[in-house]
């Protein structure tokens, strides 16, 4: 009798100790349904027809307000590579991924200080993958994916906040006090509330409010799709988003809705009537023209990187005011004329593909000094003689092992 | 009949495996034909026959941009690693890491050196990279030398031996996409060539220990000792450290001492406990695996009134 009793108790213990139900995640949501899907509004997207044949841009007077910012070079601020440049009214924040460092410069390129510190302490980061500015609060936040935390600093580098990641994301931006998070194709099975969605809008402590750009589990196993390098681009008050599942559309994200902002159409529509998995496969096939996911916006212009014949990236510049398009290998001008006027360096180099938008008016192109020196050294005396006096001085004083230089410029209406 | 088919099938599988295994294992530069040949067997014997001469006009520059002569780099036969940052950055780093693990710290093998093509390498990247490795890094303009030009156009890292007269031999390309079994064999073959026979000549720390006698508590004292490089190659001091926080070295890590030269190291010591003490300064070098040890001892006396 005693053994039967013990046996029954043991069986009960075994049966009640295991549960087939999944535990609720730490967000307090147990199913996907409890977080709203970000509503899509139709909006008024700008449709850009990419020209069939690329041509060089014969526009000598396209660039205006060109300035060169030489980032100060010291042992402390030697930059490996510039992954991101964020700018506020008077500062430039540079995220150097190679050196795992966030550097603060003033707008003239003088180094001010390093933000944050590498380490294992709560206020230190292990490996930063993304930084974002909250211009209202004058703070900068660093996403440390290895340390699973989001650290917030004020502009002087003082830690003002630190929160553990409640789910995985690889890019974040601040929008009206909320966080816009690119969850991409990360597996968030422990937080099913946001899993299988590429974009999440959350409150300031990562409680999800909206989710968007859902995808199927089959896609997760697909080897063909990756997250773009810069999925979230801020411009003025707006925030723009791109993902590979809608490969020709740039979305404008607000804290309560999304709408297509730019739709690129190519000569051939590669993705019409394809499901997500088919799109992911189609992305890997060679195409004549592809949007590479890199876009930059200013008040009057939008610039998209278009890959031609799976090889070179060319800029497609769209004028928002006139609707005109410039698409080509670079600026060209007739500099062989006997009395050609002095030219700025950017005109003679001819590359206007921007790396970032430094503010709402101007683009920014990051140049490595050694590459600039190689280009200028390859010119003949005549072309070098055409350089504007200030740029000639800059070229002559160029040190190849210095920090990158920034070409900051605006464009004339075309 | 079935057995015959099975044996034939097995034979095909074995043959296919052997072909895949031996084919494209390594590439080497054939000087006579001016092209790249794939060596399928007896490669170790052939390695020695491949010799190239580096043009006299080629100049090496260190990461600060200073010109370095060939004799300053080699001083006998040295192992070099060509790093190609343009083609496959990671392959180059892997090739260097392999050497670092394999022979980086050895009492009998001089430190290998790395060369990079100055035309397609960012000098700032090289400067940053040189901080992370215990080997000297030089950039060269490959356009000034035909042989180097041919080799660099492959955009792959390779190992080679370089002599003071500019003879480059034993060029070995380790392809990243195949099994690298031959790499161990290659190093086994070349290590004898570059080993220093006069292992008795080595780095010397003078003096090996120092008795400070009676010192005051919480007062800073300077300690000075010298490192004599009696070897025939550049010796790299990769770190100067102490397990005691009371000792601070005034020297930066990772610098080279030329053969026959003497370097002076100054450190300071501040002690906060009275009584006898013995502390060690460890010098890690690329010359041998074990660190060199400098011992400082004495007796701490007096009250905590001394000023730093």
Q: What does DSSP say about strands B221-229 and A197-202: parallel, antiparallel, or unpaired?
A: unpaired
pLDDT mean over A88-92: 88
Q: Write the DSSP assignment of B35-65 as a string of letters.
A: EEEE--S-HHHHHTT-EEE--TT--EE-TTS
Euclidean distance between CA atoms A37 and A210, whole angstroms: 5
Angle between helices A369-378 and A389-396 (to 10 degrees): 110
Residue B305's pLDDT is 44
* Alpha carbon separation from B233 to A221, B60, B193, B199 (Å, rounded): 53, 17, 15, 12
Q: Of the candidates A79, A98, A401, which has its C-beta nearest B123's C-beta?
A: A401
- Sign for the CA dihedral angle at A115, A120, A123, A126 comes to positive
Pairwise CB contact (< 8 Å): B124 & A98: no
Residue B33's pLDDT is 45
On the question of pLDDT at A260 being above 50, the answer is: yes
pLDDT mean over A205-229: 80
Residue A366's pLDDT is 94
Contact A300/A413 with Cβ under 8 angstroms?
yes
Find, among B289, B229, B254, the residue nearest to B102 by Cα.
B289
Distance from CA of A285 to the nearest CA of B (A): 23
- Beta-carbon contacts of residue A137 (< 8 Å; ≥ 6 apart): A174
CA neighbours closer than 13 Å in the CB half-sphere of residue A9: 6
On the question of pLDDT at B43 being above 60, the answer is: no
Distance from CA of B69 to the nearest CA of A (A): 21
pLDDT mean over A278-283: 74
Euclidean distance between CA atoms A361 and A357, whole angstroms: 8
C-beta neighbour count of A380 within 10 angstroms: 7
Q: Which of residues 48-67 of B touch A (CB under 8 A)?
A: 63, 65
Which residues in B lie closer than 8 A to residue A98 (C-beta atoms)? 125, 128
Residue A22 structure tokens: 């999944």
C-beta neighbour count of A369 within 10 angstroms: 21
Residue A251's pLDDT is 92
Residue A372's pLDDT is 92
pLDDT mean over A40-55: 81
Euclidean distance between CA atoms B203 and A329, whole angstroms: 58
Find, among B142, B143, B86, B75, the residue nearest to B111 by Cα.
B75
Euclidean distance between CA atoms A116 and A113, whole angstroms: 10
- Beta-carbon contacts of residue A41 (< 8 Å; ≥ 6 apart): A257, A258, A259
Residue A409's pLDDT is 92
φ/ψ of residue B259, rounded to 5: -60, 135
Pairwise CB contact (< 8 Å): B125 & A80: yes
Pairwise CB contact (< 8 Å): A99 & B128: yes
Contact A37/A210 with Cβ under 8 angstroms?
yes
* Alpha carbon separation from A169 to A37, A113, A135, A211 (Å, rounded): 18, 28, 21, 13
The answer, yes or no, to whether the previous bond of A268 is cis (omega within 30 of 0) is no
Give the residues across from B81 on adjacent strands.
B114, B159
Q: Which of residues 96-135 of B touch A (CB under 8 A)?
A: 119, 121-128
Find, among B237, B238, B289, B239, the residue nearest to B258 by Cα.
B237
Residue B306's pLDDT is 42
Euclidean distance between CA atoms A55 and A53, whole angstroms: 6
pLDDT mean over B153-180: 76
pLDDT interval class at B32 (50, 70, 90): very low
**A with B: how many residue pairs have Cβ under 8 Å apart?**
28
pLDDT interval class at A233 (50, 70, 90): confident
Euclidean distance between CA atoms A380 and A65, whole angstroms: 26
Euclidean distance between CA atoms A90 and A70, whole angstroms: 16
Euclidean distance between CA atoms B213 and B206, whole angstroms: 18
Contact B274/B238 with Cβ under 8 angstroms?
no
Mean pLDDT, rounded, of chain B:
77
Euclidean distance between CA atoms A30 and A189, whole angstroms: 11
Residue B304's pLDDT is 47
Pairwise CB contact (< 8 Å): A79 & B124: yes
Euclidean distance between CA atoms A228 and B144, whole angstroms: 41
pLDDT mean over B286-305: 78
Euclidean distance between CA atoms A410 and A32, whole angstroms: 45
Residue B19's pLDDT is 64
Flag the least confident range among A87-101, A231-245, A260-274, A381-395. Answer: A260-274
Where do runs of H (alpha helix) occur along B153-281? 181-194
Residue B47's pLDDT is 61
Quote the Cα angle for A209-A214-A218, to 5°: 145
Residue B48 structure tokens: 């020695």
Find, among B286, B189, B165, the residue nearest to B233 by Cα.
B286
- Beta-carbon contacts of residue A304 (< 8 Å; ≥ 6 apart): A48, A262, A264, A291, A294, A295, A315, A316, A318
On the question of pLDDT at B177 being above 60, the answer is: no
Mean pLDDT, rounded, of chain A:
84
pLDDT tens-place string over residues A130-147: 999 998 899 999 999 999
Pairwise CB contact (< 8 Å): A370 & B128: no
Quote the Cα angle for B31-B34-B35, to 5°: 110
Flag the least confident range among A4-18, A287-301, B9-23, B94-108. Answer: A4-18
Beta strand extents in A221-324 (DSSP E only): 232-235, 238-241, 249-253, 258-265, 289-297, 301-308, 312-319
- Sign for the CA dihedral angle at B62, B64, B69, B73 comes to negative
Q: Of the candidates A78, A368, A400, which has its C-beta nearest B128's C-beta?
A: A78
On the question of pLDDT at B50 being above 80, the answer is: no
Residue A89's pLDDT is 80
CB environment B236-255: b (16+ within 10 A), e (fewer): bbbbbebeeeebebeeeebe
Mutate to test the interface with B, among A71, A400, A401 (most CBs of B within 10 A): A401
Find, among A89, A54, A64, the residue nearest to A301 by Cα.
A64
pTM: 0.74
Euclidean distance between CA atoms A335 and A385, whole angstroms: 11
Q: How far apart are the first and last CA of chain B?
A: 94
Contact A170/A130 with Cβ under 8 angstroms?
yes
pLDDT interval class at B238 (50, 70, 90): confident
Residue B307's pLDDT is 41
pLDDT tens-place string over residues B196-232: 655 556 778 888 888 888 888 888 898 888 888 887 6
pLDDT mean over A54-80: 82
Give the residues across from B302 on adjacent strands.
none
**Is B160 buried (19+), middle (13-18) or exposed (0-12) by CB count in 10 A?**
buried
Which residues in A lie closer than 8 A to residue B90 (C-beta atoms)? none
Pairwise CB contact (< 8 Å): A400 & B123: yes
Residue B308's pLDDT is 38
Mutate to test the interface with A, among B122, B130, B138, B142 (most CBs of A within 10 A): B122
């Amino acid at each position: 009798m005693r053994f039967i009793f013990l046996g029954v108790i043991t069986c009960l213990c075994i049966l009640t100790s295991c549960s087939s139900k999944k535990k609720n995640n730490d967000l307090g949501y147990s199913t996907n349904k409890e977080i709203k899907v970000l509503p899509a509004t139709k909006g008024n997207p700008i449709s850009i027809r990419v020209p069939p044949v690329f041509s060089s841009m014969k526009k000598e007077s396209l660039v205006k307000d060109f300035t060169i910012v030489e980032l100060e070079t010291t042992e402390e601020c030697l930059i490996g590579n510039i992954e991101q440049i964020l700018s506020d009214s008077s500062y430039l924040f540079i995220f150097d991924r190679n050196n795992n460092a966030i550097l603060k410069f003033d707008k003239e390129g003088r180094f001010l200080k390093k933000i944050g510190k590498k380490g294992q302490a709560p206020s230190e980061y292990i490996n930063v993958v993304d930084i974002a500015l909250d211009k209202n609060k004058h703070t900068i936040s660093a996403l440390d994916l290895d340390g699973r935390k989001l650290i917030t600093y004020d502009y002087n580098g003082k830690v003002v906040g630190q929160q553990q990641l409640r789910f995985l994301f690889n890019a974040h931006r601040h929008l009206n006090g909320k966080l816009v998070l690119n969850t991409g194709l990360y597996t968030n099975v422990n937080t099913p509330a946001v899993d299988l969605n590429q974009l999440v809008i959350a409150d300031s402590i990562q409680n999800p409010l909206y989710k968007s750009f859902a995808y199927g589990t089959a896609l997760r196993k697909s080897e063909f799709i990756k997250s773009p390098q810069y999925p979230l681009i801020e411009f003025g008050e707006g925030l723009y988003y791109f993902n590979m599942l809608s490969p020709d559309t740039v979305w404008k994200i607000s804290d309560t809705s999304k709408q297509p902002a730019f739709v690129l159409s190519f000569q051939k529509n590669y993705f019409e009537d394809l499901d997500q998995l088919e799109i992911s496969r189609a992305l890997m096939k060679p195409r004549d023209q592809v949007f590479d996911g890199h876009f930059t916006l200013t008040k009057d212009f939008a610039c998209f990187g278009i890959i031609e014949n799976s090889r070179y990236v060319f800029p497609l510049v769209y004028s928002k005011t006139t609707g005109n398009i410039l698409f080509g290998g670079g600026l060209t001008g007739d500099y062989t004329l006997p009395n050609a006027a002095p030219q700025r360096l950017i005109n003679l180099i001819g590359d206007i593909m921007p790396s970032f938008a430094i503010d709402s008016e101007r683009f920014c192109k990051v140049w490595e000094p050694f590459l600039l020196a190689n280009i200028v050294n390859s010119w003949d005396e005549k072309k070098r003689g055409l350089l504007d006096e200030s740029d000639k001085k800059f070229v002559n004083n160029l040190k190849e092992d210095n920090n990158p230089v920034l070409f900051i410029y605006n464009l004339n209406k075309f | 009949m079935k057995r015959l088919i099975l044996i034939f099938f097995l034979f095909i599988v074995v043959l296919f495996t052997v072909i895949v295994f031996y084919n494209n294992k390594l590439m080497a530069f054939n000087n006579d034909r001016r092209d790249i040949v794939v060596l399928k067997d007896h490669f170790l014997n052939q390695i020695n026959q491949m010799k190239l001469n580096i043009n006299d006009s080629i100049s090496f520059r260190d990461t600060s941009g200073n010109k370095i002569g060939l004799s300053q780099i080699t001083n006998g036969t040295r192992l070099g690693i060509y790093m190609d940052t343009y083609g496959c950055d990671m392959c180059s780093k892997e090739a260097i890491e392999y050497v670092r693990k394999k022979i980086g710290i050895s009492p009998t093998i001089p430190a290998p050196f790395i060369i990079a093509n100055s035309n397609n390498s960012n000098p700032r990247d090289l400067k940053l990279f040189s901080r992370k490795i215990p080997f000297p890094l030089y950039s060269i303009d490959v356009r000034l030398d035909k042989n180097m030009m041919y080799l660099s156009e492959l955009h792959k890292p390779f190992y080679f031996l370089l002599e003071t007269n500019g003879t480059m031999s034993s060029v070995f390309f380790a392809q990243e996409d195949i099994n690298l079994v031959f790499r161990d064999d290659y190093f086994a073959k070349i290590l004898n060539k570059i080993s220093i026979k006069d292992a008795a000549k080595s780095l010397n720390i003078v003096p090996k220990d120092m008795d400070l006698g009676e010192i005051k508590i919480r007062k800073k004292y300077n300690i000075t000792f010298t490192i004599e490089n009696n070897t025939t190659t550049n010796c790299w001091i990769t770190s100067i450290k102490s397990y005691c926080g009371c000792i601070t070295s005034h020297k930066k890590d990772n610098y080279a001492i030329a053969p026959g030269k003497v370097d002076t190291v100054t450190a300071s010591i501040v002690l906060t406990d009275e009584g006898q003490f013995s502390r060690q300064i460890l010098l890690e070098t690329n010359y041998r695996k074990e660190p060199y040890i400098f011992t400082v001892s004495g007796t701490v006396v007096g009250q905590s009134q001394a000023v730093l």
